[in-house]
């Protein structure tokens, strides 16, 4: 005969096993924080869209991808880039695929449209060859939207889904690098003062963001420029006056960042059903770079791979530094995986009020 104590023991045991089983299901089948994720941008975000283009801005060869499971994929990095980490923090099981390789299923869950060499203006980096500027990237998104409408059956269901998705744009870096590094080739230097140029860029950006809104985007994050005065390609051209970075270039790009921050406020006021946020990429990466410099552990001013002086990209099949975790920059333009991870973490969950405005990506996902 089974005692009451034994019955009680087994009842408690079965209850605890049931709770453990339910929790395990949630851990295994946890869904992403947003139903779909779309990226726009330049080489800092590109994960393969330039592979089939006729362009100098293409990295589908070793040593790129040396620390990425699939090897060279078109990511301008030794391993994962910022979109990879953001997707991971938002609980996506896999990285968001490039538009160039997107399948029908991908249109419903997210696509990366970023293109190495791309800018806000269509003539930015024209001398590199083919690349997708922001306007073309949003045109590619328009195609995605048409496919979502077709798959779901109507525009209403499509917008219902797209309203819940997250849209992240990191562009404008090349527009300024042209201005500072290629003044002879850049049409902008002949048309505008730097202050006027910042205004032109933000005006063009605003137009494209409004188009993106018209396609159903409601959760939109826009990046300010990276700390361009800190990249090795800039350090090779300009004097730093004993500082880790060319500070006047970082200061000059703030003309754009300040206007972009004001644009975020303006868009939030004029489009109350949407939420725009500003990612202060300069503040995030700059503080990480300086922190690495003060630690004495990281190399912050030299690329990990042997890079061409013309394009700033790694020589094909060259042998990079053995300990990539000790370097901030992979080539003369792009951060290593470890710096991308540190930056993405602060974008997702801001560690300072200066990192994001008015909220971080984690909070945006909940909107």
Q: Which residues contact 246 (CB under 8 A, 6 or more apart)?
A: 229, 230, 234, 235, 238, 239, 240
Runs of H (alpha helix) within the chain: 4-28, 82-89, 104-109, 134-152, 155-162, 173-181, 188-191, 194-214, 232-237, 247-270, 281-295, 337-348, 361-366
Contact in structure between 229 and 246 (CB atoms under 8 Å)? yes
Please tell me the predicted confidence (pLDDT) of residue 293: 64
Q: What is the mean pLDDT of the chain?
A: 91
Decide if pLDDT at 340 tops 80: yes
DSSP track, 158-178: HHHHHTTSEEEEE--HHHHHH
The pLDDT of 283-310, averaged and rounded, is: 82
SS (H, E, C) 139-161: HHHHHHHHHHHHHHCCHHHHHHH
Give the Cα separation of 15 and 169 in Å (integer). 47
Q: Residue 17 pLDDT > 50, yes or no? A: no
Active site residue 331: yes
pLDDT at 70 exceeding the cut of 60: yes
Of the candidates 282, 297, 166, 149, the one whose C-alpha atom is nearest the C-alpha of residue 224 is 282
Q: Which among 95, 131, 114 has a CA at the least distance from the CA of 42?
A: 114
pLDDT per position as a tens digit, 165-209: 999 999 999 999 999 999 999 999 999 999 999 999 999 999 999
Which pLDDT score, from 0 to 100, does residue 288 have? Answer: 74
The answer to whether 354 and 280 are in contact (CB under 8 A) is yes
Which H helix or E strand runs over 277? strand 275-279
Q: How far is CA 117 from CA 42, 190, 202, 225, 285, in A?
A: 6, 20, 18, 14, 20
> Does position 77 have pLDDT exceeding 60, yes or no?
yes
Active site residue: 43, 95, 186, 285, which one? 43
Answer yes or no: 106 catalytic. Answer: no
pLDDT of the residue at 356: 98
Predicted confidence (pLDDT) per residue in 220-266, tens digit:
999 999 999 999 999 999 999 888 899 999 999 999 999 999 999 99
Q: Which residue has the higher pLDDT, 115 or 27?
A: 115
* pTM of structure: 0.91
Q: What is the pLDDT of residue 296?
A: 65
Write the pLDDT tens digit of every residue in 128-155. 999 999 999 999 999 999 999 999 999 9
Nearest Cα residue to 224 out of 165, 164, 179, 281: 281
Using DSSP, state whether 344 is helix, strand or coil: helix
Burial class from Cβ neighbours inside 10 Å (0-12, 13-18, 19+) for residue 130 reads middle
Contact status, residue 285 vs residue 230, Cβ threshold 8 Å: yes
Point out the catalytic residue in the list 46, 106, 331, 360.
331
Q: Can 43 be counted among the known catalytic residues?
A: yes
Q: 329 in helix, strand or coil?
A: strand
Half-sphere exposure of 316 (CA within 13 A, CB side): 6
Q: Which residues contact 302 (CB under 8 A, 6 or more apart)?
A: 232, 327, 329
* Cα Dmax for the chain: 96
Q: Is omega for the bond preceding 35 within 30 degrees of 0, making it cis?
A: no
| Lowest-pLDDT choice from 30-44, 77-91, 291-305, 338-352 | 291-305
Bridging pattern class, strands 166-170 and 275-279: unpaired
**What's 81-123 look like in SS3?**
CHHHHHHHHCCCCCCCCEHHHCCHHHHHHEEECCCCCCCCCCC
Q: How far apart are CA 245 and CA 240, in angstroms?
A: 6
Check 84, 95, 178, 334 and give the catalytic one. 334
Domains along the chain?
A: 33-366 (3.40.50.1110)
Count how many Cα atoms sit within 13 Å of the Cα of residue 133 in the half-sphere of its side chain: 16
Question: Is residue 308 scored above 50 in pLDDT?
Answer: yes
């Amino acid at each position: 005969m089974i005692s009451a104590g034994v019955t009680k023991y087994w009842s408690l045991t079965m209850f605890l096993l049931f709770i453990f089983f339910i929790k395990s299901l949630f851990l295994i089948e946890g869904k992403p924080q947003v139903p779909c994720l779309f990226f726009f941008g330049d080489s800092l975000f590109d994960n393969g869209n330039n592979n089939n283009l006729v362009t100098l801005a293409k990295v589908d060869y070793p040593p790129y991808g040396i620390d990425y499971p699939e090897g060279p994929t078109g990511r301008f990095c030794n391993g994962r880039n910022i979109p990879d980490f953001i997707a991971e923090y938002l609980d996506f099981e896999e990285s968001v695929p490039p538009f160039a390789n997107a399948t029908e299923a991908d249109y419903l869950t997210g696509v990366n449209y970023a293109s190495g060499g791309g800018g806000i203006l269509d003539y930015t980096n024209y001398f590199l060859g083919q690349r997708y500027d922001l306007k073309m990237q949003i045109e590619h998104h328009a195609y995605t939207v048409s496919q979502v409408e077709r798959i779901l059956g109507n525009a209403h269901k499509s917008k219902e889904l797209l309203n819940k998705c997250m849209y992240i744009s990191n562009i404008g870096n090349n527009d300024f690098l042209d201005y500072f590094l290629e003044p002879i080739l850049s049409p902008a230097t002949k048309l505008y003062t730097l202050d006027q140029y910042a205004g032109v860029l933000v005006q063009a950006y605003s137009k494209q963001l409004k188009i993106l809104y018209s396609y159903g985007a409601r959760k939109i994050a826009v990046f300010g420029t990276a700390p361009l005065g800190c990249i090795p390609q800039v350090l090779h051209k300009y004097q730093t006056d004993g500082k880790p970075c060319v500070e006047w270039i970082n200061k000059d790009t703030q003309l754009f960042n300040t206007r972009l921050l004001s644009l975020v406020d303006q868009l939030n006021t004029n489009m109350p059903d949407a939420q725009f946020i500003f990612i202060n990429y300069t503040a995030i990466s700059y503080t990480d770079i300086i922190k690495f410099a003060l630690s004495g552990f990281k190399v912050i001013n030299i690329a990990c791979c042997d890079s061409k002086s013309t394009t700033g990209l790694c020589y094909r099949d060259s042998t990079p530094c053995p300990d990539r975790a000790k370097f901030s920059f992979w080539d003369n333009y792009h951060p290593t995986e470890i710096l991308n991870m540190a930056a993405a973490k602060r974008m997702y969950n801001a560690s300072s009020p200066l990192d994001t405005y008015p909220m971080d990506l984690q909070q945006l996902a909940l909107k």
